Amino acid sequence: MLESLTLFGFGPDSWGPAMLRAAANTVAVAAAGFALGGSLGVLVAWAKIAGNAPVRWLAAGYTTVLRGIPDLLVIYLFYFGSGLLLTPIAQMFGAEGFVSLPGFLAGMGAIGVVSGAYHAEVIRGAFYSVKTGELEAATAIGMPRLLKFRRITLPLVARHALPGLGNVWQMVLKESALISVTGLVEIMRQAQIGSSFTRQPFTFYFAAGVLFLTITILSGLIFNRLEHRYSRGRA
């Protein structure tokens, strides 16, 4: 126990600072991918709700494909697919070898595209959970469409969507562990580096589990707080 505390302390030969930096990278790439996925999810949910037939088919195809293929495959497609585009361009300017998106951007894009499919279904379900009478009442008093969206539709949809979005965030957080294949030093990659250097794999992977669990608990508290806020006045 004392040896582990020394190993993950903050001394000159300790791994504590490196693990914390890796945890910060994990949170950053997960948050960026979650935000990107939320933006895509809103557009896809709108397409499924209010789009014409071709738009609805495209939106349905997006959610079906992205929820049906492995997340690791999407990460590889982003990382190596970007290389197919960027390598020839870089070679035109004298660069040599394989050139692709940085690990952070490739991971953020992959997580965003995958989570966007789940965001869309959560938001679509939340919209249909809103009682039509609440929206009709705003229309009946002559509330403009944009104002109705901001004051009525958005808060009500957020109230119903938050539990599902919390689950999407937990999924995104776990997906971030796969981004180590792009070279980004997040928690799992740093644990792998530390275990290879010290030959103590159990200790480092156990520490990685503790860090993931800590982030999960803290983010769960944040989502619970948001759910409480948007549920005020509701029996």
pLDDT at 128 over 90: no
For the chain, domains (ranges, CATH) are: 25-185 (1.10.3720.10)
Alpha-carbon distance of 178 to 79, in angstroms, equals 12
Tell me the three-class secondary structure of 146-167, residue by residue. Answer: HHHHHHHHHHHHHHHHHHHHHH
Q: What region does 143 belong to: left with phi over 0, alpha with psi -120 to 50, or beta? A: beta
Per-residue pLDDT tens digits for 178-207: 998 888 899 999 999 998 888 888 989 999
pLDDT digits (tens, 9 = 90+) for 91-106: 787 777 777 788 899 9
Question: What is the C-alpha separation between 142 and 145, in angstroms, rounded?
Answer: 9
19-29 pLDDT, tens per residue?
999 999 999 99
Name the residue with tokens 């004051």: 151
Question: What are the counts of helices (DSSP H) followed by strands (DSSP E) for the chain?
Answer: 10, 0
Say if residue 2's pLDDT is above 50: no
| CA 71/CA 177 separation, integer angstroms | 11
Q: Is 37 exposed, middle or buried (0-12, 13-18, 19+ CB in 10 A)?
A: buried
Arithmetic mean of pLDDT over the chain: 87
